[in-house]
Amino acid sequence: MHSKINIILAGVGGQGILTIAAILDTAALDNNLYLKQSEVHGMSQRGGAVQSHVRISDQPIFSDLIPQGKADIIISVEPMELLRYLPYLKKDGYLITDSNPFENISNYPELDAVYNEIKSHKNHILIDAMKIAKDLGNSKATNIVLLGAASSLIPLSDESFQKAIATLFERKGERIVAKNLEAYLKGKEIVAEIVS
């Protein structure tokens, strides 16, 4: 276990970043680690930019917000939203994002410009998580694919991630639990391929 990991989750209101946060929270608590996780409620949830700061540590954590330049990983469900939090990224920190734009604004930038910006960072994982999720027959699991993609960078055991996913989706039945575990493993597998 590192002494501390700081993760920023990014997306647009309604894209399900709080589900990723909830899985991280559950896994961290299960490992008896300290956790702080801030989230956005209210006006921005209506189609605006939203983010969540997740901090996990074996030592007590003070701030609910990650200081600038101190995020180890930014996980985003939308490519432009990923870039919004770059000032928070640590030197050589990781960027992980879905490649599909959410274009609910009239001045959405050229997608290539967004991709080029992402690719200019050494440690980036740009994947079509939405397609992966759809191919698995669960288009709602884009966020879980991304979590799987990020999982090897997060100092929590694979077992604790899977347990947290099972706990969180338990109410929705065994089939949904299985589908989400599948999405998680697929995300993990694809990144293993990219990195190797």
Partner 1 sequence: MKKLLLGNEALAQGAIDAGLSGVYAYPGTPSTEITEYIQKSKIAQELNIHSSWSVNEKTAMEAALGMSYAGKKSMVVMKHVGLNVAADVFMNTSVSGINGGLVVVVADDPSMHSSQNEQDSRYYGKFAMIPMLEPSNQQECYDITKYAFELSEELGLPVLIRLVTRLSHSRAGVVTGERIAQNTVHLPKISTQFQLIPLHARVLYQHLVNIQPDMLAISENSEFNQFEQGTNKTIGIIASGIAYNYLMENFENGECPYPVLKISQYPLPKESIKILFDTCEKILVLEDGYPFIEEAISDFLGENRKVIGRLSGDVPRIGELNPDNIANALGFDVVVNGKLPKVVMGRPPQLCVGCGHNDLFNAINALKKETENQQVFGDIGCSALGVLSPYESINTLIEMGSSITMAKGASDAGIHPAIAVIGDSTFTHSGMTGLLDAIIEKTPITVIISDNSAIAMTGAQDSAASGRLISICKGLGIEDDHLKIITPLHKNLQENIDIIREEINYKGVSVVISQRPCVQLPKEKKDKLKEYANVSIN
- Under 8 Å between Cβ of 17 and 38: no
If the CB atoms of residues 40 and 178 are measured against partner 1, the closer one turns out to be 40
State which of residues 4, 16, 61, 101 lies at the interface with partner 1 (CB under 8 A).
Answer: 61
Does 67 engage in binding with partner 1 (CB under 8 A)?
yes
State which of residues 4, 16, 31, 48 lies at the interface with partner 1 (CB under 8 A).
Answer: 48
As beta bridge partners, residue 75 has 9, 96
As beta bridge partners, residue 35 has 56
**Packing angle between helix 142-151 and helix 158-169, nearest 10 degrees?**
160
Q: How many residues bind partner 1 (CB under 8 A)?
A: 53
Does 36 engage in binding with partner 1 (CB under 8 A)?
yes
Measured CA to CA, the distance from residue 172 to residue 119 in angstroms comes to: 37
CB of 186 to partner 1, least distance (A): 27
CB of 24 to partner 1, least distance (A): 10
- Binning the chain into helix, strand and coil, the percentages to the nearest 5 are 45, 20, 30
Does 46 engage in binding with partner 1 (CB under 8 A)?
yes
Does 134 engage in binding with partner 1 (CB under 8 A)?
no
- Chain centre to alpha carbon of residue 134: 18
State which of residues 8, 77, 80, 168 lies at the interface with partner 1 (CB under 8 A).
Answer: 80
Options 107-115, 133-141, 154-162, 167-175: segment touching partner 1 (CB under 8 A): 107-115
Does 13 engage in binding with partner 1 (CB under 8 A)?
yes
Measured CA to CA, the distance from residue 39 to residue 28 in angstroms comes to: 17
Residues 6 or more apart whose CB falls under 8 angstroms from that of 36 comprise 53, 54, 55, 61, 63, 64
Binding site for partner 1 (CB under 8 A): 12-13, 25-26, 29, 34-49, 59-69, 80-81, 83-84, 86-91, 104-110, 113-114, 117, 121
